[in-house]
Amino acid sequence: MIDPDSIAEVRALARVLDMTDTRVRRGAKDAVRKAAFAVERGAKLRAPVDTGTLRSSINTTLFGSGLGADDTIGAEVGPEASYGVHVEYGTWKMAPQPFLGPAFDEVEPSFAAALEDLGGKALE
């Protein structure tokens, strides 16, 4: 026979794990949002300016609520101007003028640290 106290303990543990899971998902969503907008800011500061079109076309799109187990959280940051890729990587006629990659490289360590911190909190 199963001990009723054991069942109560398992149910209490399930509630704690569910609350932790929700807290971690919300934390991950917040970390992605903060990092994405930091990359956007950095890219706008680094983008070369001729007419300002490239700089003003750099936007962030967030996706996923992070509330479901299979709900992916993510973000896309980049220019909508069609020539942004040519500025970033260069062409055979033009040297590269990276603006997005360096912005990501600057933000990546703090983003990784935020995710590691969330991983540690999930184990607490």
Check if the beta carbon of residue 103 is closer than 8 Å to that of residue 79: no
Please check the confidence at residue 29 and state whether its pLDDT lies above 50: yes
Res 39 pLDDT > 90? yes
pLDDT at 96 over 90: yes
User: Measured between alpha carbons, how far is 33 from 30 in angstroms, rounded to an integer?
Assistant: 5
Distance CA 26, CA 41 (A): 23
Mean pLDDT value across the chain: 84
| Structural domain spans, the chain | 4-123
For the chain, give the percent of residues with pLDDT over 90. 59
Does residue 7 carry a pLDDT above 70?
no
As a whole number of angstroms, the distance between CA 22 and CA 42 comes to 30
Evaluate if residue 82 carries a pLDDT over 60. Answer: yes
Which position has the higher pLDDT, 102 or 13? 102
Query: What pLDDT does residue 1 have?
Result: 46
Over range 13-40, report the average pLDDT.
78
